[in-house]
Structure 1
Amino acid sequence: MQKKNTKLGLNNSNPAIERVNWSVRNVQAFQTTRHHPNITNKNLFDIQSSYGNFNLGLHVNDDEQQVNHNRCYIEQYLLQGKKIQWLNQVHGNDVAFIEQVSSEPLTADACITENKDIALAIMTADCLPILLASHNGEKIAAIHGGWRSLAANIIEITIKKMALNTTDIQVWLGPCIGDSAFEVGSEVKAAFVNINPQYSSAFKIKNHDKYLASLHTLAKIQLMNLGVTAIYSLAECSYSLPQKYYSYRRRSVTGRMASIIAHMP
């Protein structure tokens, strides 16, 4: 099958929110940036701040009240009353099927729901956010795609739990650390290539034991091998765009963006 790989059109009227413009019916999806929704000038933020203006991660020692305020903004103004299920992401391959929202974050690195009152969120600051939906929008899912989770087949596990024909799934791969910045050791390359030699195309040699890796390429190989061809991507580099994105590798004390998917109200 021929791969579909289209850069998504995004609505940039609000510097804090970029909406995913894909062809899934009855689904809304978007990503956040480090800009605050109430700051109209994209340059008006403190790049030296550890957490910027719109951090959504409660686990990074930012002011809890401010983070909760940021999360409430999304729920109240973007999702029209829907509740967001947040995760305690641990770079594993556990997938949670969400039937009702838990007030406490669930320990998992992916989640699925059919409940139209629930939105799913993935937090990132270099890892790859992956959003999935059936063509009719009845089932939606979100994956935290760090390299460890990808090596542990989290995409395949999630898709199997969605219980859909893979030709009925559309996928969005969001911004993450790019292949010009994501330096890894030979052990990371080996973790993938020992599973499938195809993964070698995701690694470029930097020196004798260091490589530059592409999370987008790793995810696309997995998706294509599973039979998913409707793949959309926004391959912006979180490390290389400090005015727009948080990056853990650029600065270990930092905030988190969120990629969120929900059924349409």
Structure 2
Amino acid sequence: MILPNWPIQHRVSALSTTRLGGDSQGPFDSFNLGYHVGDSIAAVDSNHQRLLEYLPRPAQWLEQVHGAKVYALTSRTASIPWPKADALYTRIAQQPLAVMTADCLPILLCNEQGTEVAAIHGGWRPLVQGVIANTLRLFDSSAEQLYAWLGPAIGPLRFEVGEEVKAQFCAQSSAHHSDFSLQENGKYLADIYSIARRQLAQAGVIRIFGGQFCTVTQSELFFSYRRDGQTGRMASLIWRN
């Protein structure tokens, strides 16, 4: 497990899993939490049971669709097993929120009082569609009162994209030009950490932590779809204490 390096641990709990410590075999070894990748269902079930040992109750999961929809889990909302969305928000105490990744950026959010938490699946498509802004709108706390942690994602030296990806971000803000580096082959290296930090800061979130990982190069720790194709999924979770 990787724990966020932010000064809010006494009010919220959060973690990101690695690929280590589970029961999956082959390209999914060993702590794969994704049911949709072709792994043994029994192995994934066992890995979920292992994860549950660290949680106060079963997590709320998503069927992630690379969009910008946020699922708000409230006392009046009937929890459904796998809602289609790319972010989660709740004020319910001890209710873990989970997003799965294998190169995309997990973003965990909470307010300084520890009464509101959110988890975002920050692939480039959700980010360019505004998933961060959509999530922040659900918080009662102002952006200046929030903490953000950026979990394991593809690093800035490995995320190659085309001109069309850069153009979509730069159409939103010219500041995004500096998040892309032109390569000799005409493609760009995108810094997904910098993109997320910029969007958070533009929204007023100034207390941002994490962002020092690379799922592609740190193969002993992380699954990477871009590196391996068929592979497992990690999870990032947050909950109110």
Equivalent residue for 2:144?
Answer: 167
More strand by share: 1
Among candidates 245, 248, 262, match of residue 222 of structure 2: 245
Shift of 1:103: 5.2
Query: 1:21 and 1:37 mapped to 2: Cα distance?
Result: 24
Shift of 1:37: 5.9
Equivalent residue for 1:182?
Answer: 159
Equivalent residue for 2:7?
Answer: 23
1:38-63 CA distances to partner (integer Å, 9 max, x unpaired)?
A: 9xxxxxx97xx210110001111211
Query: 1:103 and 1:50 mapped to 2: Cα distance?
Result: 30
| Contact 2:61–2:83 (8 Å) recurs in 1 | yes
| Contact 1:124–1:258 (8 Å) recurs in 2 | yes
Query: 1:62 and 1:156 mapped to 2: Cα distance?
Result: 34
> Aligned ranges for residues 91-240 of structure 1 at < 5 Å?
91-99=66-74, 102=79, 104-207=81-184, 209-240=186-217
Query: 1:238 and 1:101 mapped to 2: Cα distance?
Result: 34
Shift of 1:164: 2.1
Structure 2 counterpart of 1:73, one-letter code: R
Shift of 1:79: 1.4
Flag the 1:146–1:158 CA change in 2: closer, same or farther, 3 A. same
Is 2:54 the counterpart of 1:78? yes
Structure 2 counterpart of 1:20, one-letter code: P
Equivalent residue for 2:42?
Answer: 65
Query: 2:114 and 2:41 mapped to 1: Cα distance?
Result: 33
Deviates more, 1:151-160 or 1:94-103: 94-103
> SS of the residue aligned with 1:241?
coil
| Contact 2:5–2:209 (8 Å) recurs in 1 | no
Structure 2 counterpart of 1:254, one-letter code: T
Structure 2 counterpart of 1:146, one-letter code: G
Flag the 1:37–1:251 CA change in 2: closer, same or farther, 3 A. closer
Shift of 1:101: 7.1
Shift of 1:184: 0.3
TM-score by length of 1: 0.86
Structure 1: tracts of 5 or more residues without a match: 1-16, 39-44
Is 2:58 the counterpart of 1:88? no
Among candidates 9, 17, 20, match of residue 35 of structure 1: 20
| Contact 1:84–1:101 (8 Å) recurs in 2 | no
Query: 1:59 and 1:179 mapped to 2: Cα distance?
Result: 27
Structure 2 counterpart of 1:121, one-letter code: A
Query: 2:79 and 2:37 mapped to 1: Cα distance?
Result: 20
Query: 2:78 and 2:89 mapped to 1: Cα distance?
Result: 12
Flag the 1:138–1:202 CA change in 2: closer, same or farther, 3 A. same
| Contact 1:31–1:257 (8 Å) recurs in 2 | yes
Shift of 1:207: 2.4
Query: 2:85 and 2:160 mapped to 1: Cα distance?
Result: 26
Query: 1:22 and 1:230 mapped to 2: Cα distance?
Result: 9
| Contact 1:122–1:144 (8 Å) recurs in 2 | yes
Shift of 1:197: 0.6
Query: 2:73 and 2:46 mapped to 1: Cα distance?
Result: 24
Query: 2:49 and 2:4 mapped to 1: Cα distance?
Result: 20
